[in-house]
Chain A
Amino acid sequence: MLIPIFSLQLNNKVFPRTFAVGKFDGKKPSLIGATAGNKVFIHSPHDINPQAQQLDGSVSFLNVNQVITSLACGQLDEQLEKDLLVVGTNTHIIAYDMERNVDLFFQEIQDGANAITIGSWGELPETLAIVGGNCSIHGFNKKCEDILWTVTGDNVSALSLLDFNSDGYNELVVGSEDYDIRVFREDQLIADMQESEIVVSICPLINGKFAYALSNGTIGVYERSNRQWRIKSRNMAIVLETFDIDGDGVEELVTGWSNGKVDIRNDRSGEVIFKDSLAASVAGIVKADYRIAGENSLICCTNEGEVRGYKFSVQDENLAVAHTFKSNQEAVRDLLQKKQTLLLEIQNIENVGKAHKELDDQFGTIEVLTEIPASTEIQTGLAVEKAGNDLPGHVAIKIKTTNGTIIRAVTIFAEGLFRGECYVVHPAAHQLQENVTVPIVLPRDAAVDLHLQIFVGLKTSKLFHIFDLTRPLPIFSMYTIIENSSQNEPKGYVTFSINERISRIVLWINHHFLLAEECAADPASLYVTFLCVRTDAKLVIRMQNTGHVRIQTDDIELAGNIIQSMGKFLKIENLHTNGDFPLEFELLQQVFSQIEEYQAARQRISSDMAEHASIIRSFLIRAEDARLMGDIPIMKQHYIDLLHLNRDLINGYTIRCTSHEELMRHLRFLNQMVQKAGNLRLGKYKTNTINHCRVAIKGNNVELLIKSIRSGTV
């Protein structure tokens, strides 16, 4: 069991997910974290007496002068045998040697640094500081060389190094804002898992397992790419950590929540085995041999700077007995509850058929009841509807009862589709009917399960029967088949050859699109046209019996999704493709030139600012001189000038801000384009494409970039 061993007040705010521990002299651990005013605090305890409950020590600060977005400690330079601090801001990454008080490097990084982790990645020989930013991942070594670079679908929100496939080398697991968890073996993507919200934290467990937390309050565990369990709470999980609390050598999962709760769960079942509560939202949890050498303690820190430390201790027997007594009692309570529920269910089911006269005799009083024919069934149908008068294109779920009973309400639980986790249809009282149509707009192409709850009864009922149904929606649900015509065909396309029969592709279509009737296979050739009801754009899929496939769409992302989905379905490992997306490329060219402009503008504004700063200094001195000499009018004049200058500065600052935002947006577009280009290929061709694109971007060569995207080679 865990017992609390110390607590302390840092008296400073601690930003979430920036709390860490490091041995900056190689021996004594210190707690660090990002705090208000762009500072990093370092707390080193004076008092290393392991018995003391209250801990004091010195808190010192490190000024970063930029908004700190992430922070990590680790032995970036193995030869130093001590931890270095790596701080990420919106624009820079700083590696700092605390003991010698020197920067190891100070590197501009345009994509920002949302997450940092330090460690060895794959078979790369050096320890790297891996920085996740705006759709990109950089791996820096101690000399600040950008050893590795790759892209993800959106802003990186969590990073972790762990041995995913148990091959003895670390893979990088990346969570991003497009709800994806991707696993990279060096620069090769080896696994990709869809989640339902932004991934905020990832934490390695044993045997290739890892835990994740989402911004909607879900936490769960994956074993390789299979999810083992997950739970959703109404609070948000902030950080994950592992700690062995029962002394069996296997570490349990520790979660810190936004309401200050800390709970520890069994990694196999998700069952809570320990919980504690802190006064404010948890900002960070670390594991370190803090204060007691050689023995790890678990240290939790809140937003308000309250720190609490726990250690594992073998329980004294009485305490253990009392504890089992409590948990046994709880188990009995749960079981009794379960028993009663079962008894009630049996009673209910036996009563269901009986005439209510009989029941009234039995219960003495007349209770509210609702009868519907026992043969009542619910029929559901799914149809893709084009954009109409007042509705955008959507998937219509048609629900109907088989007799005169009415549907009072329908609730649909699904992940990532709605504003909340649920969508409710509740018709007005005078519009109650036996059928209900629910329009659902899928914001992006992803397979999703709909859990429907249908409230069936009579018009005046106060009690409704509930029908539970689950309907899966395939990934390409927002596409409907239309007639083939050569007019207005999309200009963009991607082509490739596969060693498969046409009927297999038809099978793929039938599985992944929502079709009114299944597509029939024609062994000679395949030619189908879809309309995306979301964007009103066409998608054409053709295939010859030679195995040559041509997918026509102007949306490079859609083309990529189709290839990835086909690849998974047909189990293709490596696939080389050629493609052209004239509309997207035009945009790309524009973005490329704008990026250059913004970068130039930024330099200009920076130099202006420097100039202004020197003018301000001189104005101030002159104004103060005038004041000392009693020349009020001159002083006033100077201060007025100063005011104007200040206004200019503020204007300059806002311009700089907006241009920075624009720049970020464009860089993001660029990175996403590379990611989409990679998605057009499978396996090693994918990695190659990304690397070629990287070279082209580094060389600032837009022609080369477009060529790389088109052909995947140089």
Chain B
Amino acid sequence: MLELQLNRVDYFKAASSVTPKCMRLLSRDNVKKETQKIALGESNGIVQLFSIRKKDINSIFKSNPGKRITRVELGGRLGEIPDRIFVAAETQVRGYSKKGKQFYTFDTNVSDPIRCMAVVGSSLYACTDTTYTHYVDSNDSDTLTFAAKMNDIVILPLAIQAMPVIACQDRLLRPLNKSSVLYEAEIPGIPTTLILSNKTGGPTKSEIVYGTSDGRLGQLEIGSIAATTKWEIANPKHLSGISAIDFFDILADGVPDMIVAREDGTVEVYNFETTDEPILKFTYNGTESITNIEGGTIANANYDELVCCTYQGWIFGLTSQPLQKELGGDVLIAQNDDLTNKIEDLKNEIEELQRKLLMSHDRYHDEVKSNPNATSTIREFRVNDRFELNRDDATYNLTIESEIPIDNVLLQCDVILDILDVEKNSAVMSFSDCDPRDNNAVLVTYRCQVNTTRLEMHVRTIEGHYGTLQLYITSKIQPRCSMLRRHTIKPLSLHQRSTLSIDSNKPMNTMKITGSFSYAEMHSWIQFCLADVPERPPADRENRLTYTNIFLNTQLECIYRQEEAIFRSENVSTISILKDVMSKKATEKKITLNISYEFNGDTIASTLNQMLPMIAHYKILTDKYNLIEPLKELVMDGSSENVLTPEHRHILDNADSIREQYKQTPVHLNRLCSMVADLFIDKHKFVGINVKAKIPNLFDKLNASFSQPQVFIDFFNTL
């Protein structure tokens, strides 16, 4: 197996940002010698097609700026090489020939902008936030509205009829048949991108690969009645989200490799050498967020490369062409001269611009002086920020990505949160003291180094503490301005919508709320408490939602209609939080609620039974971790290894893996213990007893008997 070595070569900088699926490589025109052309759509509306010649770009056509381009797709007549460029610009779809002739313009009469699109033959599939429409020859054929946002679409090229598969924000993939959903396939994270396996869909033409915002990858075979998972790659190392996937044989072993780009600029190459499961073969660590990646030959017809496009609009290649070859040296020297000239030119250009800037500044100041009513206007700069729950360790990932360099970010929150630093950030993080009278519980500043355009943070929430997280993102450029972004932290922040219905064998607590509230009111309250609740209540008169606590795996079911709502969960704390929020919301609207509970004593035991093995696991892990150092010291002489008991020797032998595990789950133990305490408090709260004073007792017992669940449960119930 040849070791892969890829070198970065910069080609081009677009004028504005480039979002995912806005760069495409056109196929070669049969002639083997030619290189591929790049079609690019920018967020300032420019569409262009260019090729690379001698590391410089050779523009074939370039449109004027206009509405933001959100998708670029290639299409063509069925059976021919797709060589027509279709772009989605807000609500419009345009088609360009490879010569730059705009041959097609189509206005979808939808009010929302197009988020994703696919073109097959004469069919156009376009999705806005929530509406999917299939046009045949520009005529509306099928349309469908969803409750969840749509992130991407692929079309399975099935022999009988092409089948669209839509990736939705609620972690479901939905294959469609005309205007009906065939079924819903749940995947472990929020899908960000979809692609047909090997770009063809595999032998059955129905295999797809998805990437998620929490960094997972997986392959599904979309059958006609159900989907089957072929493989799945979890993300225990907490890598960042997947932004683009492609299939290309960069390793040149005859089998297409899977190329994956992540939001933090990492590029990975997976190989299917021996098995059907992908094996990681190569990693490139970039620093800028990559939004598009595709394999091809663009600079030199003899060498394959991976063409990447970043959010900021950089297009660069990771080329297999070696930088230092016996003969290649001369070429490079020539290129170096070119670059040196380029640097000089740029320096001059920058000086010129600086002069111009100064002049504009002076002009502006004169204007302000002469006109007392002048206003100073600043406008938004493009920032992409996301706040999403990571299933692996139950923390929220907060990512900020800006088109222009960030100077600093101020994070403010009115409820208690744990803000974790991320190793890859270069920003200096600093906690500020905060005054609770100002409604502040967390104030953190991130001072960024030069040219930072991306920042990632991990946030740990506590269920029951809800509020708003505000980010002030300050740009580096003049006139300086700062943009405010808000994210809500829901009361049940660790609950994730699931399609699994509630386990009828498990004992459950029930809370029944009645009162003079409408169906829509109850829906909005539930929406306030939980994530992934649709904007509007479904058309039926009754609705049912099921959720899973991703940390404890306890379930919650909400059934509600006008004047009645029923909540069922085995976790008393969940019910207690819901009760508090509901009462508060009703009081705001001056609605009286009748709340009745039905407690099942067994639920305490079952919830604890869920938690205690986890506590035991983490406690043992912590103990082992703490033992590593002393044990190492003991055996330092090298001779006394025999004196250790087998358990201790086992710890020493597995020291590295224990350390790794411990690092991946830093405060799970504390979180679990505080959840046990919450459960204890909530259990007694319903009876109206304050038991805060007994918590130390509880913890003592927990420390002593975590490995004997029954003993602890009995103690818990009698305390």
User: A352 on the interface (CB 8 Å rule)?
Assistant: yes
A422 to B412, CA, bound (A): 14
In the complex, the answer to whether A368 meets B380 with C-beta atoms within 8 Å is yes
In the complex, the answer to whether B324 meets A318 with C-beta atoms within 8 Å is yes
* Closest beta carbon of chain B to A584's beta carbon, Å: 32
Most buried by B among A331, A356, A370, A467: A370
List residues of B (286-310) whose CB comes within 8 Å of A's CBs: none
In the complex, the answer to whether B379 meets A466 with C-beta atoms within 8 Å is no
User: A232 on the interface (CB 8 Å rule)?
Assistant: yes
In the complex, the answer to whether B428 meets A217 with C-beta atoms within 8 Å is yes
In the complex, the answer to whether B481 meets A465 with C-beta atoms within 8 Å is yes
Interface string of A277-297 (1 = CB under 8 A from B): 000000000000000000000
In the complex, the answer to whether A426 meets B13 with C-beta atoms within 8 Å is no
In the complex, the answer to whether B361 meets A349 with C-beta atoms within 8 Å is yes
User: A427 on the interface (CB 8 Å rule)?
Assistant: yes
**What residues of chain A lie closer than 8 Å to B459, measured between beta carbons?**
none
**What residues of chain B lie closer than 8 Å to A36, measured between beta carbons?**
629, 632-633, 636
**What residues of chain B lie closer than 8 Å to A421, measured between beta carbons?**
428, 430, 447
**What residues of chain A lie closer than 8 Å to B357, measured between beta carbons?**
342, 345-346, 349
User: B535 on the interface (CB 8 Å rule)?
Assistant: no
User: B350 on the interface (CB 8 Å rule)?
Assistant: yes
Interface segment among A159-167, A320-328, A588-596, A666-674: the answer is A320-328
User: B440 on the interface (CB 8 Å rule)?
Assistant: yes
Partner of B350, one of A339, A350, A427: A339
In the complex, the answer to whether B427 meets A234 with C-beta atoms within 8 Å is yes
**What residues of chain A lie closer than 8 Å to B695, measured between beta carbons?**
none
A369 to B479, CA, bound (A): 13
**What residues of chain B lie closer than 8 Å to A13, measured between beta carbons?**
629, 632
Interface string of B20-49 (1 = CB under 8 A from A): 000000000000000000000000010000
Interface segment among A64-72, A86-94, A185-193, A456-464: the answer is A456-464
In the complex, the answer to whether A424 meets B434 with C-beta atoms within 8 Å is yes
**What residues of chain B lie closer than 8 Å to A232, measured between beta carbons?**
428
* Closest beta carbon of chain A to B110's beta carbon, Å: 16
Question: How many CB-defined contacts (below 8 Å) exist between A and B?
Answer: 247
In the complex, the answer to whether B378 meets A369 with C-beta atoms within 8 Å is yes
Partner of B346, one of A339, A343, A375: A339
In the complex, the answer to whether A234 meets B429 with C-beta atoms within 8 Å is yes
Known: A375-B374, A464-B472. A325 touches B432 (CB 8 A): no
**What residues of chain A lie closer than 8 Å to B632, measured between beta carbons?**
13, 36
User: A107 on the interface (CB 8 Å rule)?
Assistant: no
In the complex, the answer to whether A329 meets B8 with C-beta atoms within 8 Å is yes
Partner of A332, one of B10, B378, B379, B482: B10
Interface string of B436-458 (1 = CB under 8 A from A): 01111001010100010000000
**What residues of chain B lie closer than 8 Å to A39, measured between beta carbons?**
636
**What residues of chain B lie closer than 8 Å to A324, measured between beta carbons?**
336
Q: Which residue of A has the minimal Cβ distance to B322? A: A322
B contact face: mostly helix, strand, loop, or mixed: mixed
A329 to B633, CA, bound (A): 49
In the complex, the answer to whether A365 meets B67 with C-beta atoms within 8 Å is yes
**What residues of chain B lie closer than 8 Å to A376, measured between beta carbons?**
376
A37 to B443, CA, bound (A): 42
List residues of B (309-358) whose CB comes within 8 Å of A's CBs: 312, 314, 323-326, 328-329, 332-333, 335-336, 339-340, 342-343, 346-347, 349-350, 353-354, 356-357
* Closest beta carbon of chain A to B417's beta carbon, Å: 15
In the complex, the answer to whether A411 meets B445 with C-beta atoms within 8 Å is yes
In the complex, the answer to whether B377 meets A356 with C-beta atoms within 8 Å is yes
A409 to B483, CA, bound (A): 12
Known: A344-B477, A464-B472. A319 touches B438 (CB 8 A): no
User: A337 on the interface (CB 8 Å rule)?
Assistant: yes
* Closest beta carbon of chain A to B639's beta carbon, Å: 12
Known: A340-B13, A371-B375, A465-B376. A234 touches B332 (CB 8 A): no
User: B404 on the interface (CB 8 Å rule)?
Assistant: yes
Known: A352-B377, A419-B431. A341 touches B404 (CB 8 A): yes
Partner of A352, one of B364, B380, B412, B426: B364
**What residues of chain B lie closer than 8 Å to A349, measured between beta carbons?**
357, 360-361, 364, 478-479
**What residues of chain A lie closer than 8 Å to B368, measured between beta carbons?**
353, 374-375
In the complex, the answer to whether B8 meets A364 with C-beta atoms within 8 Å is no
User: B188 on the interface (CB 8 Å rule)?
Assistant: no
* Closest beta carbon of chain A to B263's beta carbon, Å: 19
A685 to B179, CA, bound (A): 95
Most buried by B among A328, A340, A431: A340
Known: A350-B360, A423-B432, A463-B483. A37 touches B377 (CB 8 A): no
* Closest beta carbon of chain B to A549's beta carbon, Å: 40
List residues of B (358-406) whose CB comes within 8 Å of A's CBs: 360-361, 364, 367-368, 371-380, 404-405
A39 to B410, CA, bound (A): 46
User: A47 on the interface (CB 8 Å rule)?
Assistant: no
* Closest beta carbon of chain B to A613's beta carbon, Å: 23
In the complex, the answer to whether A328 meets B343 with C-beta atoms within 8 Å is yes
In the complex, the answer to whether B323 meets A325 with C-beta atoms within 8 Å is yes
User: B588 on the interface (CB 8 Å rule)?
Assistant: no
User: A233 on the interface (CB 8 Å rule)?
Assistant: yes
A593 to B167, CA, bound (A): 79
A329 to B404, CA, bound (A): 20
In the complex, the answer to whether B433 meets A423 with C-beta atoms within 8 Å is yes
Partner of B380, one of A322, A341, A373, A463: A463
User: B480 on the interface (CB 8 Å rule)?
Assistant: yes
Among all A-B residue pairs, the 8 with the closest Cβ atoms: A420-B430, A466-B480, A428-B439, A328-B339, A335-B346, A424-B432, A318-B324, A374-B374
Given contacts A325-B339, A422-B432, 6 further A-B contacts (CB under 8 A): A37-B636, A321-B329, A341-B404, A349-B479, A353-B368, A428-B438
B residues at A contact (CB < 8 Å):
8-10, 13, 15, 45, 66-68, 90, 312, 314, 323-326, 328-329, 332-333, 335-336, 339-340, 342-343, 346-347, 349-350, 353-354, 356-357, 360-361, 364, 367-368, 371-380, 404-405, 408, 410, 412, 421, 423, 425-434, 437-440, 443, 445, 447, 451, 472, 474, 476-484, 629, 632-633, 636-637
Q: Would you mind naming 29 contact pairs between A and B with Cβ atoms under 8 Å apart? A: A36-B632, A39-B636, A317-B329, A318-B326, A319-B324, A321-B336, A322-B323, A325-B323, A328-B339, A332-B343, A336-B13, A340-B15, A341-B477, A349-B479, A351-B379, A353-B374, A368-B379, A372-B375, A373-B375, A419-B431, A420-B431, A426-B412, A426-B440, A428-B439, A463-B379, A463-B481, A464-B482, A465-B480, A467-B480
